[in-house]
A and B are shown apart, each in its own frame.
Chain A
Amino acid sequence: MKSKSKLFLAVAAACLAAWAFVTIIPLYWMIVGSVQDSASSASFRPEMIPGALSIAPYERFFAKTAAWRWLANSLLISTVLTITNVFFASLAGYAFSKLKFPGSKAVFWLLLSTMMIPAQVTLIPLYVLVVNVFNLGDSYTAIILPTAVTAGNIFLMKQYMSSLPTSLIHAARIDACSEFGIFWKVILPLAKPGLAVLAIFTFVASWNEFFWPFLITNSAEMRTIQVGLASFVFAESTDFGAIMAGATVGALPMLILFFSLQRYFLQGITIGAVKG
């Protein structure tokens, strides 16, 4: 695994460049396709390097859909889910990693075992429960509540919290800090890098979530951008430009987030997944 000959390095660099190109092409094609006006001619052929740029596809996408509302819905839902997940997952992660209480192990493993159950199993009863029993169909609450805090995030926070020094907790306890005070004033500030990573990944995952919001929403106004986008594609399957514009609108906020917080994304993946 140590560095090899110059030839090997050159071949490796060429392969990487080629693969990076292939990886990026779909996103490039999406953006380039969204600024070429497909309605202008009958035999439309989008080009890799566009000639005249046009925002007409975006105008059509926003005119034909409730996209602003969908974006607002997605922003609201993702923000709430990020706050609830970060707060409750770090609180529970702290309890499981630093507090001793009867049943702690059993409860933790029970929560964790739910990650093995595929979503398809719980989906139908969940749907019946939320729509028919709680009468929450087509509401923000319905979209948010089931994933307000996920087992995966609790696991991540438990892993992260167990690396924090316990001595500070003891010191705070001697200072007669309340248990919640310790969490709020001692643990949270220490855990900030971990919380930031959790927040970013939760936000992206919530923004990109499709299936549950798709299942639980009926009206066009309640759709998230992903659900709305899917409905638009099925309704307007021929308007290439507008479809690419829609896809760009759905992805752009996450692309911008990625470019501005790249470091957190790239380093955050290793938290909790691999030890050491």
Chain B
Amino acid sequence: MQTTIAPKRRSTAGRFWREYGWAYLFILAPVLLFLIFTLYPVISALVMSFQQYNIMQSTWVGLDNYERLFKDDTFWKSIWNTVVFTVCTVPVNIVITFVLAHFIYQMKTKWQTFFKATMYLPAVASGVTISIVWLAIFDPTDVGLLNRFLGLFGLDPVIWLGQSKTALFSLILMNWLGSHGAGIILYLASMGGIPKSLYEAADIDHASGWTQFKAITWPLLKPTTLYLLVTGVITSFQVFISVYMMTQGGPNFATTTIAYLIYQTAFKFYEFGLASAQSFVLAFLIILVSVIQFKYFSSDVEY
């Protein structure tokens, strides 16, 4: 800035302001929003989780909320459901994404664009829209596309969302068949960055396709895989819209995820304290799992 033009004698504070004032001004809005809409709510939620919350007069109850939720079967059920959903969706989605990207990579540019666009398309539709359509696809009556499809093979209709046996699986199925476009595009970008010479060298050494995959492709795509894994887990730990729109957590809590349980506890039963405690358990799980993934997966990857 103007440090070379010696200013008339000014206080150090004045000089500091002249030197850095603009920068602080540029970040002022996000910092204020952060303080008001993130930092304060996080602290407030932590306090609430130790309280029997009431808008007029909250009472301090110590660890009661946490004790209550650890004794609550529904809470454990919701964790189980969330974990099952995550474990069944994220790794499978990554494999699907990878295979599709690998196939697309072999195509001509024109077809690459076509497949990227087609497979990305559902991602621009909202969760509400997608849920509405899948609600119709799973419909047990004549409207239900999936049962009609099964009928072509002589299979009996299934009450997909209406029974606890199949409800969670239905949500998982819908997730598998959703858009993998963003992941495909990320994989393709990294695949394009792998030097061709590596494969040429491997060919000269008569390395098999599988060996090439293990020694070249997989390690070099690891950053992308890690990114998809971490973001995928964080997203599916918070799965909400499809549950709210399609099953309301039922039947018999078969699809109650943590995020849905928190919503119910807070905005149906107005137990803000208990819901805050639940949300901190969720936050703890998310951070824990993210850290573990980075530890195990990232030895040679910086992010």
B13 CB to nearest chain A CB (Å):
13
Residue A154 at the B interface, CB < 8 A? yes
Number of interface residues of B (CB under 8 A): 105
Q: In the complex, A179→B21 CA distance in Å?
A: 10
B170 contacts chain A at the CB level, 8 A cutoff: no
Tell me the residues in window 19-77 of chain A with beta carbons closer than 8 Å to chain B beta carbons: 19-20, 22-27, 29-30, 33, 43-46
0/1 string, A111-142, CB within 8 A of B gives 1:
10010111111111111110010000000000
The answer to whether A251 touches B238, judged by C-beta atoms less than 8 angstroms apart, is no
Interface SS of chain A: helix, strand, loop or mixed?
helix
The verdict on B163 contacting chain A, using a C-beta distance below 8 Å, is no
Q: Note all chain A residues with C-beta closer than 8 A to B37.
A: 122, 126, 129, 145-146
| B40 surroundings in chain A (CB, below 8 A) | 125, 129
A13 at the interface (CB under 8 A from B): yes
Cβ proximity bits B20-31 to A, threshold 8 Å, 1 near / 0 not: 101110110111
CB of B212 within 8 Å of the partner chain: yes
Q: Does B179 contact A (CB under 8 A)?
A: yes
User: With the chains together, A266 CA to B125 CA distance in Å?
Assistant: 15
Q: Kindly state whether residue B283 has any CB partner on chain A within 8 Å.
A: yes
Nearest CB on A from B191, distance (A): 7
Residues on B facing A (Cβ under 8 Å)? 1, 19-20, 22-24, 26-27, 29-31, 33-34, 36-38, 40-42, 44-45, 48, 55, 99-100, 102-107, 111, 113, 115-122, 124-130, 132-137, 142-143, 145, 177-180, 182, 185-186, 189-191, 193-194, 196, 199-200, 203, 209, 212-213, 216-217, 223-224, 227, 234, 237-238, 240-241, 244-245, 258-259, 262-263, 266-267, 272, 275-276, 278-280, 282-283, 286-287, 290
Residues of A within 8 A of B (CB): 1-4, 8-9, 12-13, 15-16, 19-20, 22-27, 29-30, 33, 43-46, 88-89, 91-92, 94-96, 99-102, 104, 107, 110-111, 114, 116-129, 132, 145-146, 148-149, 151, 154, 173, 179-180, 183, 204, 207-208, 210-211, 215, 226, 229-230, 233, 240, 243-244, 246-247, 250-251, 254-255, 257-258, 262, 265-266, 269-270, 273-276
